[in-house]
Amino acid sequence: MPEAVASVADRLTAVVHRANAQPGVAGLKNLIFAVVLYRFAVRAWRQVLIKGPVRAVVEFYKASLQSLIVLTRKRIPAANNLVKTEIAKQVLSIEKKMVKIQPGEKVYRALPVQGLSDPAVRKELQRYQNMGDVDWRAGKISGAIYHGGDAVSALITDAFSRFTVTNPLHPEIFPGIRKMEAEVVSMVLRMYNAPDTGCGSVTSGGTESLLMAVKAYRDMARDQRDVTEPEMVVPVTIHAAFDKAESYFGVKLIHIPMDPTTGKVDLTKVARAINRNTIMLAGSAPNFPHGIVDDIPALARLAQKHGIGMHVDCCLGGFLVPFLEKAGFALPHAVDFRVEGVTSISVDTHKYGFAPKGSSVVMYVRKEIRDYQYFVTTEWPGGIYASPSIAGSRPGALIAGCWAAMVHFGESGYVASTREIMQTAMKIKAGVKKIAGIELIGDPLISVVSFRALAPINTYAVADLLSRKDWHLNVLQNPPAIHIACTMLTSNGNAADELLRDLENAVSEIRKDPEAGKGAVAAIYGTAASVPDRTIIADVTRGFLDALTKI
């Protein structure tokens, strides 16, 4: 066999040599080289246009260094083994923290041979419920639990229990669920001042809402404009669901830097990045990292000029933004369908809408766009099949829970919760401004307040000291920063005052002793930032995902 392979290889080589010797081939080779060079130059020039010459060069250098390091490492077995051992060590330490099984603790590795009685299951549920030692009611958590009140939870649970067996895939069996879903969409459309042509879908969460919008614009551009290499131009601060959409749907993501002072996406660079493959622009209101609202009207004008989609990611602020004015706060401009050029908006009912986790709404300005979100197949032996979004079967109970929360709070309830949450956020914002050594990122106008430490104080060291005080805040990177997304729980009690005090103490502690804060956050993010080989970070992160299903 090897000889046969060798002879085939020889023959192929000979053919290639002969082909190369043909007159004209040299010309062709030059032409191909010219095309490759041209494509490289175009791409490089675009990077310079979008990122500016300095950043483009730095990023090119970083990317080349990364490839070089990975290549070199993989060629030197000793180096590769060293890296692999280190990754395994890190993953093991993650597992140790996450997978804590007490000696003698019952673990269900396989189905119990004999099923448990109802009381026994309830007892077990109680045991699992008591796991963990984070007191989320104390309000020291950024986001995660947006309301948490017992009465609201009881109401949602009641809604669940009435609709436990339902599935919106079968509207003829569960007409009540169909109606509730339609009403959830309608209520959110009204909140966002949609025109009569407006429409939407309930999805499983913000990520799915964003994925659906990208898919709709991709298929629409392919159908109507023959775009086969679609691109989307979005702020670098937009939610990672857009990275996911790139990975799932093959729509190239063009990240545009933010203005370092305002935290908003740099509009000039957005304009430069648009080309005939661009299917959509997007902006956040507000974004997850810094709670900053992009200049939606300006982005929408650009999108309109080019005849492309404009998505507003209102996932986070979905149930704050529409009530800001009535709560006594304001944005400098509208971010909803009143803004001409806005063609879709995503809103998470399961955040400040206080619905149970697993629901969000994606809205479109006209039905034509939503059509491209749908999936329909007419030839399946299982029947003519259609579903509006990614899932097939869906939990009707979640729709009932969402509907119950929305009609329970109503406009008055959401205005009141918006007022409380905003007062807390603005108190934190004002307090952070006064702490020497700490600065805000941009001018946050909604519920997320993001800040960083000024040199020589290390932001991640501050994060470590705060986590030692039982704070569960979000740690950010590029640039290093910390944020808190205020919720009803932050507004209860005096969490805001506590945070400001702990933050001030952290800063003065580090001033006295620069080593004071060095802990897990500084170790993880500080080290991660200094590792040029990003595949190592990705591998450790995959280990984290693996740990989720370890017992």
**Which residues, other chains included, contact 187 with Cβ-Cβ below 8 Å and sequence gap of 6+?**
406
Q: Which is nearer to ligand PLP, 69 or 214 (CB)?
A: 214
Which of 168, 206, 297, 480 lies at the binding interface for ligand PLP (CB under 6 A)? Answer: 206
Q: Which is nearer to ligand PLP, 208 or 464 (CB)?
A: 208
Q: By Cβ distance, which residue is nearest to ligand PLP?
A: 206
Q: Which is nearer to ligand PLP, 299 or 510 (CB)?
A: 299
Is residue 241 within the footprint of ligand PLP (CB under 6 A)?
Answer: yes
353 to 392, contacts with ligand PLP by CB under 6 A?
A: 360
- Interface mask toward ligand PLP for 4-43; x: CB under 6 A: ----------------------------------------
- Evaluate whether 269 touches 49 at the Cβ level (below 8 Å): yes
Exposure class string for 372-390: b at 16+ Cβ within 10 A, else e: bbeeeeeeeeeeeeeebbb
Exposure class string for 190-220: b at 16+ Cβ within 10 A, else e: ebbebeeebbbbbbbbbbbbbbbbbbbbbbb
Find the DSSP H helices in 138-250: 150-162, 175-191, 206-225, 241-249
Neighbours of 458 (CB within 10 A): 22
Q: How far is CA 282 from CA 255, 345, 494, in A?
A: 10, 9, 36
Which of 207, 389, 450, 458 lies at the binding interface for ligand PLP (CB under 6 A)? Answer: 207
Which of 47, 166, 201, 287 lies at the binding interface for ligand PLP (CB under 6 A)? Answer: 287
Please report the beta strands in 252-308, taking only residues with DSSP state E, as ranges in sequence order.
252-256, 278-284
Q: Which is nearer to ligand PLP, 288 or 319 (CB)?
A: 288
SS3 199: strand
Q: Which is nearer to ligand PLP, 217 or 288 (CB)?
A: 288
As measured in angstroms, the least distance from the Cβ of 519 to ligand PLP is 26
Alpha-carbon distance of 492 to 140, in angstroms, equals: 10
CA angle in degrees (0–180, nearest 5) for 420-424-428: 170
- Interface mask toward ligand PLP for 454-483; x: CB under 6 A: ------------------------------
Q: What is the largest CA-CA distance in the chain?
A: 86
Q: With CB under 6 A as the contact rule, which of the stretches 96-104, 263-271, 308-316, 456-464 interacts with ligand PLP?
A: 308-316
Strands across the sheet containing 360-364: 199-203, 360-364, 344-347, 309-314, 278-284, 231-235, 252-256
Is residue 447 within the footprint of ligand PLP (CB under 6 A)?
Answer: no
46 to 75, contacts with ligand PLP by CB under 6 A?
A: none
Alpha-carbon distance of 35 to 551, in angstroms, equals: 54
As measured in angstroms, the least distance from the Cβ of 353 to ligand PLP is 11
Q: With CB under 6 A as the contact rule, which of the stretches 166-174, 312-320, 420-428, 519-527 interacts with ligand PLP?
A: 312-320
Is residue 316 within the footprint of ligand PLP (CB under 6 A)?
Answer: yes
Q: Which is nearer to ligand PLP, 287 or 487 (CB)?
A: 287
Q: Which is nearer to ligand PLP, 355 or 500 (CB)?
A: 355
Q: With CB under 6 A as the contact rule, which of the stretches 284-292, 469-477, 501-509, 517-525 interacts with ligand PLP?
A: 284-292
Question: Shortest CA distance to 487 belongs to which of 142, 134, 138?
Answer: 142
Angle, to 10 degrees, between the axis of helix 495-512 and the axis of helix 396-434?
50
Is residue 205 within the footprint of ligand PLP (CB under 6 A)?
Answer: yes
Is residue 166 within the footprint of ligand PLP (CB under 6 A)?
Answer: no
Is residue 181 within the footprint of ligand PLP (CB under 6 A)?
Answer: no
As measured in angstroms, the least distance from the Cβ of 207 to ligand PLP is 3
As measured in angstroms, the least distance from the Cβ of 206 to ligand PLP is 2
Is residue 315 within the footprint of ligand PLP (CB under 6 A)?
Answer: yes
* Alpha-carbon dihedral sign for residues 451, 458, 266, 484: negative
As measured in angstroms, the least distance from the Cβ of 313 to ligand PLP is 5
As measured in angstroms, the least distance from the Cβ of 544 to ligand PLP is 17
Angle, to 10 degrees, between the axis of helix 77-98 and the axis of helix 534-547?
40
For residue 335 the two structure tokens come to 């971010």
Is residue 246 within the footprint of ligand PLP (CB under 6 A)?
Answer: no
**Which residues, other chains included, contact 84 with Cβ-Cβ below 8 Å and sequence gap of 6+?**
none
Is residue 219 within the footprint of ligand PLP (CB under 6 A)?
Answer: no
CA angle in degrees (0–180, nearest 5) for 61-476-546: 90
For the purposes of burial, counting CB atoms within 10 Å of the CB of 416, is it exposed (0-12), middle (13-18) or buried (19 or more)?
middle
Which of 348, 403, 459, 460 lies at the binding interface for ligand PLP (CB under 6 A)? Answer: 348
As measured in angstroms, the least distance from the Cβ of 286 to ligand PLP is 7
Q: Which is nearer to ligand PLP, 295 or 348 (CB)?
A: 348
Q: Which residues bind ligand PLP (CB under 6 A)?
A: 205-207, 239, 241, 284, 287-288, 313, 315-316, 348, 360
